[in-house]
């Protein structure tokens, strides 16, 4: 990266390089393959819902942080995006307990 390009990246909030995006894409691919594996391996069926929720939440966080540039934006935007997501996740977990997916 040239000195001028580095200065531009720093002036625009220090966005990640192409290598970071490729690494994130590789991690997303591994998480997707893991999701498919968890679904098709019978030993994981007792914990299928929690495992898939955890894996998909991880993928969601990576996409939002890097590809939607939320990691480099103002914290207010992160809060405006995260709080409704937290409420939705709480409702999802409550419904899963209500309908017997999770048991105590």
What is the 3-class SS of 35-56, one letter each residue?
Answer: HHHHHHCHHHHHHHHHHHHHHH
Rounded to 5°, the CA angle 93-49-42 comes to 160
Question: For all residues of the chain together, what is the average pLDDT?
Answer: 82
Q: Which DSSP letter does residue 23 get?
A: H
Q: 35-82: per-residue pLDDT in tens?
A: 999 999 999 888 888 899 889 888 988 888 888 877 777 888 878 877
Question: How many angstroms separate the CA atoms of 14 and 16, rounded?
Answer: 6
Has this prediction a pTM greater than 0.85? no
Place of tokens 């419904």: 95
- Cα Rg of the chain, angstroms: 18
């Amino acid at each position: 990266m040239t000195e001028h390009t580095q200065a531009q990246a720093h002036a625009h909030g220090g966005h990640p390089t192409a290598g970071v995006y490729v690494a994130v894409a590789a991690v997303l691919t591994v998480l997707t393959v893991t999701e498919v594996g968890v679904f098709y391996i019978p030993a994981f069926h007792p914990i299928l819902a929690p495992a898939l929720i955890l894996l998909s939440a991880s993928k969601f966080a990576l996409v939002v942080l890097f590809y939607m540039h939320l990691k480099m934006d103002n914290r207010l935007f992160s809060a405006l995006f995260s709080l409704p997501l937290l409420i939705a996740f709480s409702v999802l977990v409550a419904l899963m307990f209500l309908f017997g997916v999770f048991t105590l």
